[in-house]
Amino acid sequence: MSATSNASPTVQLLSPAGVFAPSETAAEFLPYLDQLTEADYRRFYRDMVVIRRFDKEAANLQRQGQLALWVPSHGQEAAQVGSAHATRPQDHIFPSYREHVVGMIRGLDLVDILRMLRGVTLGGWTPEDHGNFHLYTLVLASQTLHATGYAMGMQLDGSTATGNPETDQAVIVYFGDGASSQGDANEALVFAASYQTPQVFFLQNNHWAISVPVTRQSRTPLYLRAGGFGIPGTQVDGNDVLASYAVTAKHLDDARAGRGPALIEALTYRVGAHTTADDPTKYRDPEELAYWVARDPIVRFRAYLQGLGVEMEFLDAVDEEAEDNAADVRRRALEIHSPEKNVIFDNVYAEPHPLLQEQEAWLERYEASFEGGDA
C-alpha cells in the first residue's frame, strides 16, 4: 500500500483532509500552482463531479442493456482532471480507455465515447476536431508507441522546442499499472529516451489490473523504472488534483521546451470494477477499498474549496449540473443510431480493393434477394 506522508517521495499538495500541506518533494512543482486562479479550482471540482455522475449513468446504461460494456473511472478523477488541465491546446493526448474526463476537458462529447461502447463504431471521434484527443486503444500499451512516434514527428517537423511555449507541442500518453508490464510500454520508454521526445508518460497506478494487484506487475515503485530508462520519474498523489496538475504541468513544460520525456506515476485507486463485466468482491479486500474511499479525490478537494470559502451555492450548482449532464447523456445515448452496413467495407482501405468491392456487391445482392421475394 502506498503511503502518502510527508516523508514519502510522493508529491502531494493537499492532505487527505483537504488541507494545503505540500510534501517536501513538492517544492519544484509549487510554482505551477501560481498559474491557477480560483476559477480554475472551480473548474477542476466541477469536472470531477460531472464525470463521476456521468460514470454512474453510463454504468446504469450498460446494466439496462444500452451499452455493450462500461469502463468505470470512479476514483481516478483527480489524476485525470489535474493532468488534463495541464495540457495546452496544441498538445496531443493518447488515452488508454478509461480517460473519459480527459476527453471531456479536451472538448469531446461524452456521448461519442458511449457510441464506441454501444458497439456502433470502432472509434467514435476525429482527434483533430476534438482537442487532439486520440482514439481509445483497447490493446494495452499499444498507444504508448503511437504517442512516442507522434512525438518524434513533432521533433522532425519542428513543432516543438522552438522556445515559444504558446506554440511548442508535446504529447501525453495515458496507461496503467497493468500496461506497464507490456513490452510496448517499455519499448516506448526506450524510444522516447533515445530520441528525447517531447512527451509525458502518465501512468495511473490504480492498483489493480482487473483482478491482479500491482504487486504482481512490479516489485519496485513504478516511477523508479524511469531511472532505468534514463528519464525523470515522479510519483504523485493521484487523488490530489492540484498535485496531479502541478507535476504534469512541469513535465509537459519541460517536454515542450526540449528537455525530454518524463514518467509520472499517479497513485490512485479503481474504486469500481475493471468493467461492468468484472466483480471485484471476488478478489479485493474490503478494508483496502475502505482505505481508498476515505481518500476520495472529490471529498478532498471539496473540503479544500470550502476551506477557501467557496460558497455552498456553487457546490450545489455543480451537483445540479452533473445531474443535468447525466440526464442529457442518457437521453442522447438512447438516440444513437446504428450505422448502415456499408461501414463494414468503407474504410478498410484508402484505395480501391477488388476483393472487398466484390464482397460488398455480393452482400448487397444477397440481402436484396430477400426483399419482396418468397424468402
Partner 1 sequence: MSDTIVSAAAHAAPVPAWETAAAEAGPETANLPMTKALNAGLRLAMQDNPKVLLMGEDIGPLGGVFRVTEGLYAEFGDKRVLDTPLAESGIIGTAIGLALRGFRPVCEIQFDGFVFPGFDQITSQLSRMRNRHEGGVCMPVVIRIPYGGHIGSIEHHQESPEAYFAHTPGLRVVSPSNPHDAYWMMQEAIASDDPIIFFEPKSRYWPKGEVNLGSSGIPLHASRVVRTGTDVTVLGHGAMVSVLLQSADLAAAEGISIEVIDLRSISPVDYGPILASVEKTGHLVVAQEAHGFVSVGSEIAATVMEKAFYLLEAPVLRVSGFDTPFPPAAVETHFLPSPDRVLEAVDRALAY
Cβ nearer to partner 1, comparing 65 with 183? 183
Asked if 156 interacts with partner 1 (CB under 8 A), we say: yes
Closest distance of CB 74 from partner 1, Å: 27
Asked if 154 interacts with partner 1 (CB under 8 A), we say: yes
CB-hemisphere CA count at 13 Å for 216? 10
Are 94 and 257 in contact by the 8 Å Cβ rule? The answer is no
Are 256 and 198 in contact by the 8 Å Cβ rule? The answer is yes
Beta bridge partners of 93: 133, 172
SS3 57: helix
Interface of this chain with partner 1, residues 2 to 31, rule: CB under 8 A: none
Closest distance of CB 304 from partner 1, Å: 38
Asked if 351 interacts with partner 1 (CB under 8 A), we say: yes
Write phi, then psi, for 369 (nearest 5 degrees): -65, -20
Of 253, 199, 239, which Cα lies nearest the Cα of 81? Answer: 239
Interface of this chain with partner 1, residues 317 to 346, rule: CB under 8 A: 343, 346
> d(Cα 72, Cα 52) in Å, to the nearest integer?
9
Stretch that binds partner 1, among 36-44, 52-60, 152-160, 289-297 (CB under 8 A): 152-160
Stretch that binds partner 1, among 34-42, 56-64, 183-191, 212-220 (CB under 8 A): 183-191
Cell of 259: 528537455
Interface of this chain with partner 1, residues 261 to 320, rule: CB under 8 A: none
Closest distance of CB 343 from partner 1, Å: 8
Asked if 87 interacts with partner 1 (CB under 8 A), we say: no
Closest distance of CB 127 from partner 1, Å: 8
Of 93, 105, 113, 135, which one interacts with partner 1 (CB under 8 A)? 135
Of 354, 370, 371, 373, which one interacts with partner 1 (CB under 8 A)? 354
Closest distance of CB 353 from partner 1, Å: 6
Asked if 183 interacts with partner 1 (CB under 8 A), we say: yes
Q: Which amino acid is at 242?
A: L
Cβ count within 10 A of residue 157: 9
- Which region holds residue 104: left if phi is over 0, alpha if psi is between -120 and 50, else beta? alpha
Run of H or E including 116: helix 110-118
> d(Cα 272, Cα 291) in Å, to the nearest integer?
14
Closest distance of CB 185 from partner 1, Å: 10
Of 29, 41, 150, 201, which one interacts with partner 1 (CB under 8 A)? 150
Largest CA distance in the chain: 79
Cβ nearer to partner 1, comparing 316 with 358? 358
Of 190, 293, 303, 363, which one interacts with partner 1 (CB under 8 A)? 190
- Which region holds residue 124: left if phi is over 0, alpha if psi is between -120 and 50, else beta? left
Question: Sign of dihedral through CA atoms 168, 108, 316, 16?
Answer: negative
What residues make contact with partner 1 under the rule CB under 8 A? 121-123, 126-127, 134-135, 137, 139, 142, 144-154, 156-157, 183-184, 187-188, 190-191, 194, 343, 346-351, 353-355
